């Protein structure tokens, strides 16, 4: 058997010796947290809340870096190509890892190959909202209107790979209706056009849409979770409004490029868990309509695999596809 040259052994030893001090002192400079969606959305808000807590704990600034476009693909690719040193993270959501692989025939990234899922951090249902000028008061009325006017209603989304898009396509499939999809570069832009009457309906993250329902700028018809939400009192679920089995819940998590040294992964994970046990962070999340949570990297990886399989089935049955 060939022996390993002494020079190679010395190099390995020096790398191992330097790894521990690097992890012990981490972080020694600001950390970039990429948000692959436009400012003002749920990912932005959650990233800023989390970044503040991490900054307070570590004394190093967490810099939120917006890289929107192409259903989160642009920002995800930027995160993938960043140095695997723990100084670039991504605040991602379900879309990039559980929906895009079944929608797009070709992606520049592969989750198991290119990313280290660190922890799940939040979950939340979506809210089905319509422009108040639309002559419907509930989901049944929306279905009847769509059936009576095929191709006349539009639904907005923050991009073809977002949960809002999947929600709209699933709604069309389950109701056998023809509703036209209008894609935006972020849910906030879609919401703005919804309030202006340019589109008629939207599946939105609750933190973005809920405040506008309280000022009558939007009308909430239903939540997409299996059970009603305490934050949207009196708003029924879609499942109980005539579409049994309809359920969509969004989730967010923190990712690092694959290859970050395990000691740094451990420190990052421990900090994410700590931050999401803080009472004030949990309260701020709750006020937004999301639930703070955490997981081990392995649990998060298994969750992504499970969700990807579920959405592959949903998208296959709905016929939704992006070329």
130: exposed, middle or buried (Cβ count in 10 Å: 0-12, 13-18, 19+): buried
Q: What is the pLDDT of residue 2?
A: 47
How does the average pLDDT of the chain come out, rounded?
90
Q: Write the CB contacts of 54 (distance below 8 Å, at least 6 apart in sequence).
A: 31, 62, 271, 275
Q: pLDDT tens, 211-266?
A: 899 999 999 999 999 888 887 878 999 999 989 989 888 999 999 999 999 999 99
Cα separation, 48 vs 275, in Å, equals: 12
User: Hunting for tokens 């990429």 — which residue is that?
Assistant: 34
Q: pLDDT tens, 105-136?
A: 889 999 889 999 999 999 989 999 999 999 99
Q: What is the pLDDT of residue 74?
A: 94
Q: What is the pLDDT of residue 141?
A: 96
Q: How far is CA 281 from the centre of its chain?
A: 18
Q: Which two tokens stand for residue 229?
A: 């939400």
Q: How far is CA 46 from CA 43, 84, 154, 254, 304, in A?
A: 5, 23, 29, 11, 19
9 or 295, greater pLDDT:
295
Per-residue pLDDT at 1 exceeds 90? no
Cα separation, 48 vs 43, in Å, equals: 9
Cα separation, 260 vs 264, in Å, equals: 7
Q: How far is CA 197 from CA 127, 159, 193, 277, in A?
A: 18, 19, 6, 41
Q: How far is CA 100 from CA 36, 111, 311, in A?
A: 13, 11, 10
177-201 average pLDDT score: 93
Cα separation, 73 vs 79, in Å, equals: 10
Q: What is the pLDDT of residue 264?
A: 97
**Same fold across 29-123+249-318 and 125-241:** yes
29-64 exposure pattern, b = at least 16 Cβ within 10 A, e = fewer: eebbbbbbbbebbbbbbbbebbbebbeeebeeebeb
Q: What is the pLDDT of residue 287?
A: 85
Q: What is the pLDDT of residue 261?
A: 97
Domain ranges across the chain: 29-123+249-318, 125-241
Please list the helix, strand and coil fractions of the chain in percent, rounded to the nearest 5, in that order: 50, 20, 35
Q: pLDDT tens, 7-26?
A: 544 555 545 444 444 678 89
CATH architecture of 29-123+249-318: 3-Layer(aba) Sandwich (3.40)
Read off the pLDDT band of 160 (50, 70, 90): confident
- Topology given in CATH for the domain delimited by 125-241: D-Maltodextrin-Binding Protein; domain 2 (3.40.190)
Q: pLDDT tens, 144-154?
A: 999 999 999 99
CB-facing half-sphere around the CA of 71: CA atoms within 13 A:
25
pTM recorded for the entire structure: 0.80
178-206 average pLDDT score: 93
Cα separation, 179 vs 128, in Å, equals: 14
């Amino acid at each position: 058997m060939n022996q390993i040259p002494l020079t190679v052994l010395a190099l390995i030893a020096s790398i191992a010796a330097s790894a521990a001090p690097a992890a012990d002192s981490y972080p020694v400079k600001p950390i970039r947290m990429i948000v692959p969606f436009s400012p003002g959305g749920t990912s932005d808000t959650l990233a800023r809340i989390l970044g503040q807590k991490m900054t307070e704990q570590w004394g190093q600034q967490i810099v939120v870096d917006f890289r929107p476009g192409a259903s989160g693909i642009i920002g995800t690719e930027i995160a993938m190509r960043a140095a695997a040193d723990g100084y670039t993270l991504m605040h991602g959501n379900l879309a990039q890892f559980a929906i895009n692989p079944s929608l797009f025939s070709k992606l520049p990234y592969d989750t198991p190959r290119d990313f280290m899922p660190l922890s799940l951090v939040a979950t939340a249902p979506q809210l089905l909202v319509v422009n108040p000028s639309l002559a419907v008061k509930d989901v049944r009325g929306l279905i009847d209107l769509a059936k009576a006017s095929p191709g006349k209603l539009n639904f907005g989304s923050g991009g073809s790979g977002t949960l809002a898009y999947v929600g709209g396509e699933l709604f069309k499939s389950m109701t056998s209706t023809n509703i036209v999809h209008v894609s935006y570069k972020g849910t906030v832009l879609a919401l703005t056009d919804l309030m202006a009457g340019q589109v008629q309906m939207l599946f939105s993250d609750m933190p973005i849409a809920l405040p506008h329902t309280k000022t009558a700028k939007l009308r909430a018809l239903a939540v997409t979770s299996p059970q009603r939400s305490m934050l949207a009192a009196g708003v029924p679920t879609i499942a109980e409004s005539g579409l049994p089995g309809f359920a969509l819940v969004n989730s967010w998590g923190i990712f690092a490029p694959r290859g970050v040294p395990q000691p740094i992964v451990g420190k990052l994970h421990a900090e994410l868990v700590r931050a999401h046990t803080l009472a004030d962070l949990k309260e701020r999340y709750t006020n937004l309509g999301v639930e703070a949570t955490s997981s081990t990297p392995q649990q998060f990886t298994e969750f992504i695999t499970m969700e990807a399989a579920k959405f592959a089935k949903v998208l296959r049955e709905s016929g939704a596809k992006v070329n």
